[in-house]
Structure 1
Amino acid sequence: MSNPFFLLFISILSGLLLGKIQFKNFKLGASGTLFAGLFFGWLFPLFINSQKELINIQNTLNTFFNFSLILFVSSIGLIASRDIKKILKTHGFKFIILGFLITFSGFISTLLFTYFTNLNNLNLLGVFSGSMTSSPGLASALESIKEGSADIIYGYTVGYIPGVLAVIFSIYFIPIIFKININKEKESYKFESIDNSKDYNFNFISFSIVIILGILIGNLNLNLKFASLKLGNTGGILLSSLFLGSLGKIGNLSFEFNKNILKVFQNLGLVIFLSSIGLRSGYKVISNFNRESLYLMVISFVCAIFSILVGYIIGKYIFKLDWIILAGAITGGMTSTPGLGAALDSTKSELVTAGYGATYPFALLGMVIFNKLFSILTNL
């Protein structure tokens, strides 16, 4: 229990076995690793006597978390880059609208709870970013508030898991509730998607350039009039992989990679990412559970579900988007990497990554704007 590698892989093994259990048309799939991680994350600190050793384990888990994000986001960006031009050309401004609309829905629903509850507004500000599973949103919230950062972080930590669960459950249950035939939709896109059958080599030099450029972009501070925006590793690597992947080649450097290898990276990154979330959060979420944290968790879940439903209704019935593309757009609007993993798992189509990549940047900008508005409207 003191070995972080053992904790990681026992969580992955248990979670994947849990994910195979099927109830009618529903199963957790790769998302089972999140729940296994939560359990072992609660369990392992009980066996650790030294605070220093506990901190060392947590630091290693943080490294797993960050490395898995790099693997997952770069691979989905490079896969999505093959279709994103065609998706954007076909659907135009719909993804921009969805990105802002979904984050606005989360903002307005969280803001309403400041008027109808006696909860700490700083906690609710953190819950907003937690319900949207947005680390850049948390950074923006912390930047706009000089005092009370601990309360914001607490709200984010408590709200994050319900936000993740809301996206995962929605992605699996919406097709069941609304009787969406995913296989039929996949057939309609079968001949529209760019041919990915070419067996490209995997160039680690090009792949490293994608990562390095993404980290550099992610660490740039973009000073806007209302706030400064920092994309972080996730946003930066997503943009670099989409950009370089869509270019294909620069001189002798090829950014066209073997899709099967990218899928291996994607799946490996996803299960490590979900497991490490659970391992990092399990003890705090389960052991510190009380009435106030319960309220915040319920609020986070409600706000996330509301945002998802708004995105689904507008996307499906007004923009007429098929579920495969819309599932990616919703998870992009929620800035939810675990949600994208659930969408990939439930649809078995990489086209969802194009919807995710097209919506994510605008949702990220929306999180910065609405965090600032939240602090202004609540006089924080």
Structure 2
Amino acid sequence: MFFNFTEFIFNPFVLIFASIFLGMLFGKLKIKSFSFGGSGVLFAGLFIGYFVLKYAHSFTESSEKYLSAQALITKGVIDNLLFNTFLVLFVTAIGLLASNSIKKVVKKYGFQFVILGFLITFVGAATSYVLTESLPQKDIFKVSGTYSGAMTSSPSLAAALETVQSTTTKDAKNFSSLPDTEKQMILDVVNSGSEEVLTIENTVDLTQEQQDSYVQKASADVGIGHSISFPIGSLVVIIAMSFLHKIFRIDIEKEKEEFARIMSDGTPVNETDNKSSKGVLFDVTGFAFAAFVGLIIGSIEIPLGSLGSFSLGTTGGALMGGLLLGSMGKIGFINFRMDDKVLQVLRTLCLEIFLAIVGLRYGYGVVESITGSGLTFVVVGLITAFVAVMAGFLVGRYVMKMNWILLSGAICGGMTNTTGMGTLLDVLDSDDAATGYGATFPFAMIGMVLFTIILHQFTA
């Protein structure tokens, strides 16, 4: 009898379910009245992900386990396909759950959600810019990635990469005509990790190899900045959704009652109508079709002229697919109005798997960044996310006088943060906040793409 320990702990399903099990146990621990609940899975994933990757890095080329370790390192512990699969399932379930009330919420508060979506993303970009300008040594490419990571937005990372690749390619080709300050910035990037030291004096123009190196290193820096700050931004939103209502003494039960009055407009809910609105227990065809339509919506690119293009991506598309088809209720024999309890179980299961994967994928990078040279960008990401969240909260709560159930969802939507939304639903013990999330998310996505491009242009 032989037990292969290395292959066992490198198994993605072992890592995922170990993270969920340990995370749920951790989430049940209470400090006074506070506990992390389901979001404890994220922390367990971060912990396990760090040690598993550290173990994988310990194998030398002569080891028989080297190839397995390299495969784990290359795919980032858990394959991206699993990550996206459970993300789509989770967000589609949220869309279908929120579809009952989205029309009424948008009709009544639509403009406020637009404002919050752009306000939160703008404040985040402005904070990133101010912090970058205050640094003794600017790293403009990592900053673009740090902003998209702190706001937990993958589409804005794509916008940052596209913008950086375009501008760096152009600057590298026109190196000889650039001012000395820009030349030095380019040479600093090219020289990083290279034995050859280029200076303004000994470099009239860049070779094709040096041009390619500049573009690749600049793009890599964007990815590094995003990877460092993404989990930090997620943690900020998770903690905010767990603590804000306690710090500002918001009575959740009263807010729920107020939300119910907003939804009913003072008219009593007829039990028969309510029962019929649930539709079927669960429709696999309807759920799959909602996810499929959502992926189509997310892949549509809208041109924005010189600023590039915009798309909702996987998350935004799946959310819109669930909201749109869920609000329709039924198409022929296909039902989109399903029992809330079944959707909640599916939503919870997919969320915990998703949180585990996020933690496993980013655990090593987070610890290495906090203990290494990436600490500066950890701080930038932390402050950026915190200021953006607080701006949305203060304006929404004290200027717009919004109900907390709607506002908390809108803040998660403005931060384009799925993990924070999952924590919020757990804290509220209700799916009502998903309406605010769904109404704000599209405008925040547009803001993220626009401000990412503008931020890079300003810092460059």
Per the shorter chain, which TM-score range? over 0.9
Question: Does the alignment pair 1:347 with 2:435?
Answer: no
Question: Does the alignment pair 1:136 with 2:155?
Answer: yes
SS at 2:431 equivalent: coil
Residue 42 (structure 1) aligned to one of 34, 44, 50: 50
TM-score, length basis structure 2: 0.79
Q: How does 1:276-295 map to 2 (within 5 A)?
A: 276-295=357-376
Residue 30 (structure 2) aligned to one of 13, 22, 25: 22
Deviations 1:194-250 (A, max 9, x none): 765444321111111111111122222221222211322111111111111111122
Distance 1:250 1:55 in 2: 48
Give the aligned partner of residue 190 of structure 1.
260
Residue 413 (structure 2) aligned to one of 332, 335, 350: 332
Asked if the contact 1:62–1:280 (Cα under 8 Å) also holds between the matched residues in 2, the reply is no
Change (3 A) 1:288 1:52: farther
Asked if the contact 2:86–2:350 (Cα under 8 Å) also holds between the matched residues in 1, the reply is yes
Distance 2:32 2:93 in 1: 31
Give the aligned partner of residue 224 of structure 1.
304
SS at 2:320 equivalent: helix
Sequence identity percentage:
41
Deviations 1:358-380 (A, max 9, x none): 0000000000110111121122x
The gaps in structure 1 that reach 5 residues or longer are: none
**Match for 1:293: what amino acid?**
G
Asked if the contact 1:61–1:279 (Cα under 8 Å) also holds between the matched residues in 2, the reply is no
Give the aligned partner of residue 119 of structure 1.
138
Asked if the contact 1:327–1:352 (Cα under 8 Å) also holds between the matched residues in 2, the reply is yes
Change (3 A) 1:371 1:23: same
**Per-residue deviation at 1:154?**
0.3
SS at 2:373 equivalent: helix
Moved more, 32-41 or 193-202: 193-202
Give the aligned partner of residue 176 of structure 2.
none
**Per-residue deviation at 1:168?**
0.7
Residue 227 (structure 2) aligned to one of 154, 157, 167: 157
Give the aligned partner of residue 316 of structure 1.
397
Question: Does the alignment pair 1:101 with 2:119?
Answer: yes
**Per-residue deviation at 1:192?**
4.5
**Per-residue deviation at 1:51?**
4.9
Moved more, 184-193 or 23-32: 184-193
Give the aligned partner of residue 101 of structure 2.
83
Give the aligned partner of residue 342 of structure 2.
261
**Match for 2:394: what amino acid?**
I
Change (3 A) 1:208 1:42: same
Question: Does the alignment pair 1:166 with 2:236?
Answer: yes
Aligned residues: 379
Distance 1:52 1:96 in 2: 49
Give the aligned partner of residue 215 of structure 1.
295
**Per-residue deviation at 1:346?**
1.0
Residue 270 (structure 1) aligned to one of 334, 343, 351: 351
**Per-residue deviation at 1:189?**
2.6
**Per-residue deviation at 1:111?**
0.6
Residue 31 (structure 1) aligned to one of 36, 39, 44: 39
Distance 1:239 1:304 in 2: 25
Distance 1:253 1:51 in 2: 50
Asked if the contact 1:25–1:176 (Cα under 8 Å) also holds between the matched residues in 2, the reply is no
TM-score, length basis structure 1: 0.95
Question: Does the alignment pair 1:62 with 2:80?
Answer: yes
Distance 1:367 1:88 in 2: 21
Deviations 1:47-90 (A, max 9, x none): 44445424544364423211110111000011111111111122
Alignment RMSD (CA, Å): 1.7
The gaps in structure 2 that reach 5 residues or longer are: 1-8, 60-64, 166-214
Distance 1:357 1:317 in 2: 22
Change (3 A) 1:144 1:300: same
